[in-house]
């Protein structure tokens, strides 16, 4: 779970770096090529972020399943 949270933190840091790199006034993205490169970088960050969230949800679901099984076994005893 710590690994998933750490990867989520890394993605957030990368997305913040991308946003910080955008100039406040008169942005110059380097033409079509630069715009495509930056778009791919943002898309990659978003995909990584969504994958991290999916991994976190999967881990939480498996832990919740384990906890419910333990609670049910205690009730049966």
pTM for the complete prediction? 0.54
Looking at residue 11, what is its pLDDT?
82
pLDDT in tens, 2-32: 777 777 788 888 888 888 877 777 767 778 8
Half-sphere exposure of 18 (CA within 13 A, CB side): 17
Please give the C-alpha separations between residue 73 and each of 35, 60, 76, in angstroms, as whole numbers.
57, 20, 5
pLDDT in tens, 35-56: 888 889 889 988 988 998 898 8
Measure CA 56 to chain center: 9
pLDDT classification of 74: cutoffs 50, 70, 90: confident
């Amino acid at each position: 779970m710590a690994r998933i949270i750490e990867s989520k933190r890394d993605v957030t840091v990368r997305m913040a770096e991308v946003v910080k790199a955008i100039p406040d006034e008169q942005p110059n993205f380097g033409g079509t090529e630069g715009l495509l490169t930056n778009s791919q970088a943002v898309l990659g960050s978003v995909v990584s972020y969504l994958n991290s969230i999916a991994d976190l949800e999967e881990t939480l679901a498996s832990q919740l399943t384990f906890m419910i099984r333990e609670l049910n076994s205690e009730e049966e005893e």
